[in-house]
Amino acid sequence: MSDEKFDIPEQFASPAVPALLTEDSVIQFSCFKGISCFNACCKHADVTLAPYDVLRLQKRLGMNSEQFVSQHTVPFELDADGTPGIKLRTDDDGACLFLDGDNGCSVYQDRPTVCRYYPVALLNMREKDTYEAKQKYSLVREDHCKGHQEPREITLRDYRKEQGVEEFDALNRSWYELILKKKSGGPGVGKPSEMSLQLFFMASFNFDMLRRFVMSDNFKATYDLPAETYAEVAEDNVALIKLGNKLMRQALFGEKTIPEKSGAWEKRVEERKEAWEARAKAEIEARNAKAEQQMRDETTGGSEI
């Protein structure tokens, strides 16, 4: 382990310094309806959502992603640059709105990754010189959770299977890697523009808007994608999420993840030339006005002595 540099995104890290577990680690834990603490965890819900969580929940609720995000989530910032994330909405006491009294979770089959893993915390880390997300785990012990006192032992490998997290992890992995790279890329990556952050939000959580964007004439005129890709993303949300991840890499890190049509950049430059020239002119005028004002202030200040 000494040759590895780990970088744990805050939002996926436990407050305590975690003892790292692997898939071979054995935990003692069991949770079932009828346990004395049943639902206690959902009454203190702090559930960060990843793209595939949103997809599963919106489908479950028969909503589009815009409706789901506005009705069931609250925004928060994933990092100091204001990269936008979302969490499940709770009531004023912190209880998850999907908690259905004594019946427990009303969306159980489609519950988010964080809920599936609990009381295990998923830690996405990177090794030195790579941005590949490597999954490690830690055990979260909270007083209200009595499942740790149950006499069942299980490996994390089997626990992941039991909780059905493999599909979620596989589809969210590229997104976790993107956040890792964003967070640990250092000054070379730099602070993203407001437009890049908006694109990040759209590609991560607003699949309806992302689909409209990708199917637009402007997008098709810029990117060199085969007709089959457009046919696929028109119907398939998972294919859309994957294309969205590539778009985010392009916007945040300048990676050429989606081929552009030849001449598309020059055409865009030509189209925007007028606007850029006007903006540059306005900036020069504002700078000159500021310098003039400064000179006036200094002159006035001098005459007052």
Instruction: Catalog residues that contact ligand SF4 under the rule CB under 6 A.
Output: 31, 35, 37-42, 45, 47, 96, 98-99, 105, 107, 111-112, 115, 118, 144-147
CB of 115 to ligand SF4, least distance (A): 3
- Between 20 and 40, name the residue whose CB sits nearer to ligand SF4: 40
- Between 96 and 243, name the residue whose CB sits nearer to ligand SF4: 96
CB of 40 to ligand SF4, least distance (A): 4
- Between 91 and 297, name the residue whose CB sits nearer to ligand SF4: 91
CB of 21 to ligand SF4, least distance (A): 17
- Between 152 and 212, name the residue whose CB sits nearer to ligand SF4: 152
Q: Per the structure block, which two tokens stand in for 292?
A: 């003039």
CB of 97 to ligand SF4, least distance (A): 7
- Between 143 and 298, name the residue whose CB sits nearer to ligand SF4: 143
Residue 215 CA to residue 62 CA, distance in Å, equals 23
CB of 201 to ligand SF4, least distance (A): 21
Cβ atoms within 10 Å, residue 206:
21
CB of 42 to ligand SF4, least distance (A): 3
- Between 85 and 147, name the residue whose CB sits nearer to ligand SF4: 147
